[in-house]
Amino acid sequence: MTKVDDLLAASVSSGQVSGLAAMSVARGRATYSGAFGTRSSVNSSLMTADTVFEGSALLRPVMAVAALQLVDAELLALDEPLRTVLPELAAPSVLIGFEPSGEPLLRAARGEITLRRLLNHTAGFNVGSWWDGALVYDDLWSLPYRAGSVSLLADPGTRWLHCADTDLIAMAIERISGLALDEYLKSGIFRELGMLDTGFDVPPRARARTAGGWSEPDDAEGLLSFYTTPKDFFEFLEAMLWRDESLLSPRSFDLVRGDQIGGLSVPRRLELSTARTPGDINFYPEIRLYPDIGRTWSLGFMVNLDAVPDGPRAGTQSCAGNANTFCWIDPVAEVAGLLFLRPGQPGAPGEQPGESFFGEFQRAVYADRETAGRPRRDAPEHPGEWPSASPSVWWPL
């Protein structure tokens, strides 16, 4: 893919990027895999498709798939009150203002917190939705919740809000499956797809392959780090593009692809100067992708409502782990890809890469689509047969 190679190589030679790895696939075209630059400034090892990156927000669609597997197994329901599984959510409150003293004014929430609303970010949570008698801003990582102390910024189902709902999804998965989250994901997704370098830790054997060099994560605040490689995460993207029914039922694939927030709106731009409340501050990097394009949310991905000129079609799913890890799935054009990069050194000429550079990469992929092909992933022998038994019956442990 000449245009893609030229674009990526130029970003490294200019100093804009220290190293990057990119992959893409389309029906009727060979898989593209390219890596340029170095993994780390500590040594001269070259960037490769098996370089380990930290991209915690890439966990969001993975968690959505994991939860929907339990829905397919009839162990969880999308629209039943989640308080039946998580009693901590039995009596949430909504913030309506503050006393002159600074004490929060709360009222009982109207509507139920459900799995669907957690997965599409309309449950009313926002980062900082933890209260205990006084205003305390904490991430949702400060679990476990205590009954009656959960507060929301909106009634469930009434507003789309950026938040860290993956913690609550993880709690539901662990309580229903009886497995720790890491083992659940390994059993149901990672081992199934051969994602052997993906998880919440980097084993010693792989630490020399870490982008930027390995350092022990700072877990003082309980933050959960998610690690993967371009090669591993591309397996996940292909499974989603080709609707690999060893992962999900056809109905669940539809939920991951389509609009799941109805008439609610997702911000087009991230501009702190226009924020009126904490709920207006949305930190998803996806929001900065093509800011003039309308978008909605499925159960796990941002979804374009409009086509991007010379790029992704309407209905494209996007996810960005941070400013350095990006991916997309275009079911209409049958294209998917990812870009993982290590930024250039501070003071390097030109702007640091980000969403706009990812857009350039996407357009280069679409411009090179005439290259010859790769078949889709094989479907299971008997699609549509979904067990109602425990996940341990049908996931390899």
CA proximity to 216, closest of 192, 279, 225 = 225
DSSP string of 138-179, one letter each residue: --TTSPSP-TT-BEESS-TTS------THHHHHHHHHHHH-S
End-to-end CA distance of the chain: 39
Cross-sheet strand order for the sheet of 104-108: 104-108, 93-98, 151-152
E-assigned strands of the chain? 17-26, 29-37, 53-54, 93-98, 104-108, 151-152, 227-228, 295-297, 302-304, 317-322, 325-330, 335-343
Q: pTM score, two decimals?
A: 0.85
Q: What is the dihedral of CA 348, 351, 355, 358, to 10 degrees?
A: -60
3-state SS, one letter per residue, for 175-218: HHHCCCHHHHHHHHHHHHHCCCCCECCCCHHHHHHECCCCCCCC
Render each residue's pLDDT in the chain as its tens digit; 397 residues: 688 999 999 999 988 899 999 999 998 888 999 999 999 887 779 999 999 999 888 999 999 999 999 999 999 999 999 999 999 888 888 888 878 887 878 899 999 999 999 999 999 886 544 433 333 333 333 333 444 467 888 899 998 887 767 888 999 999 999 999 999 999 999 999 999 999 999 999 999 999 988 887 765 444 578 999 999 999 999 999 999 999 999 999 999 999 999 888 877 665 555 555 555 555 566 667 777 888 899 999 999 999 999 999 999 999 987 668 999 999 999 999 999 999 876 555 555 567 788 999 999 999 987 544 444 444 444 334 444 333 333 333 2
Q: Which residues touch 277 (CB under 8 Å, ≥6 apart)?
A: 153
What was the pLDDT predicted at 41? 81
What was the pLDDT predicted at 343? 83
What was the pLDDT predicted at 368? 84
2-73+178-394: CATH architecture: 3-Layer(aba) Sandwich (3.40)
CA proximity to 109, closest of 95, 98, 122, 120 = 95
- How many degrees, rounded to 5, is the angle at CA 73 between CA 183 and CA 397? 30
Whole-angstrom Cα distance, residue 11 to residue 89? 48
Judge whether 16 and 353 are in contact, CB under 8 Å: yes
What was the pLDDT predicted at 158? 93
Question: Residue 70 corresponds to which tokens in the numbers above?
Answer: 């339990």
Judge whether 364 and 51 are in contact, CB under 8 Å: no
Q: Where are the domains of the chain?
A: 2-73+178-394
**Interhelix angle 166-177/59-72, nearest 10 degrees:** 40
Whole-angstrom Cα distance, residue 285 to residue 390? 36
Whole-angstrom Cα distance, residue 60 to residue 78? 17
Length of the chain, in residues: 397
Whole-angstrom Cα distance, residue 261 to residue 137? 27
Sole residue written with tokens 């000429």: 349
What was the pLDDT predicted at 247? 96
What was the pLDDT predicted at 393? 31
Whole-angstrom Cα distance, residue 168 to residue 173? 9
**Interhelix angle 2-13/355-367, nearest 10 degrees:** 150
- How many degrees, rounded to 5, is the angle at CA 53 between CA 50 and CA 54? 155
CA proximity to 395, closest of 41, 73, 29, 60 = 73
